[in-house]
Amino acid sequence: MQNSNRKTIFTTISIDKETANLVAKICKRYSLKKGEIVKLAFQYLEKAHINPADTPESVKSELAKINKRQDDIIRFIRHYEEEKLNPMIRTSHAITVRFEKVVTELSELVSSEIGSSRELQDNVLKKVSEAFNQHAGVINNQAKQINSLSQIQQRENKKFLQLISLYSELATCGVMDGKRKENLRTEINDLINE
């Protein structure tokens, strides 16, 4: 029988009543047409490589096969874990321990270097401070000496000016001012002997 609209060739197959009831039941359950059910069933058999002539095995044997496959997979995982993962974990743990040890040693080394560097800097700063204090003390002493010398110089200058003044008065005194001359000479001698 050929349908001209769809260009699909339909064929018929004969099935017994029991199989027809089973097909109708499946069609009703999944809301499909009989032709769709048959097509999907054959596609499934082809894709799954199932021979419909083989008798289906019991559920127990199928579960035993599944359990055997699970056990095989678990054995493979354990074997892989023993052969590959555990050595990698041990190696990475050993690397981690070494790394932590190296980091700790480097940290201690850096800390000690910083401490010794800090001590060295403190000692240098103390020496520089002491040197500055000594220089400041010397400068202060020199300033005091200069100040005292300046005061002495001022006194000496004042004294010198007084001597000049007294000598000029002595020089201006006439022949008649004998007593005045004697007083000026005494003042000059007192100033010189101070």
Least confident of 32-36, 73-77, 176-180: 176-180
Mean pLDDT of the chain: 85
CB neighbour class for 163 (10 Å; exposed up to 12, middle 13-18, buried from 19): middle
**Does residue 138 belong to any structural domain of this protein?**
no
Classified as helix, coil or strand, 9 is strand
pLDDT band at 175 (very low <50, low <70, confident <90, very high): low
List the Cα angle 31/17/48 in 5-degree steps: 55
- Whether residue 97 is contained in a domain is answered as no
| Residue reference for tokens 């020496």 | 127
Confidence band for 170, pLDDT divided at 50, 70 and 90: confident
Is residue 8 situated within a structural domain? yes
Band (63; pLDDT cuts 50, 70, 90): confident
- Output 26 or 56, whichever has higher pLDDT: 26
Is residue 38 one of the residues assigned to a domain? Answer: yes
Averaged pLDDT, 34-47: 90
Rounded (10°) angle between helices 17-30 and 34-48 = 90
Which residue, of 40, 56, 72, is where some domain finishes? 56
Domain presence at residue 182: yes
Please name the residue that has the structure tokens 């010189």.
192
Q: Which of 52-61, 126-135, 168-177 is modeled with the greatest confidence?
A: 126-135
pLDDT at 5: 60
Instruction: Determine, yes or no, domain membership for 43.
Output: yes
pLDDT at 4: 53
Residue 46, in any domain of the structure = yes
Task: Using the predicted structure, report yes or no on whether residue 81 has a pLDDT greater than 60.
Answer: yes
Residue 17, pLDDT > 90, answer yes
pLDDT of residue 174: 65
Mean pLDDT, residues 102-109:
92
Reported as a single tens digit per residue, the pLDDT across 123-135 is 999 999 998 899 8
Domain membership flag for residue 47: yes
Read off the pLDDT of residues 107-126 as tens digits, 9 standing for 90 and up: 999 999 999 999 999 999 99
Residue 188: domain span = 155-193
| Cβ-Cβ contacts under 8 Å for 163 (sequence gap 6 or more) | 188, 191, 192
Q: How many domains does the chain have?
A: 2
Residue 172 has pLDDT above 70, yes or no: yes
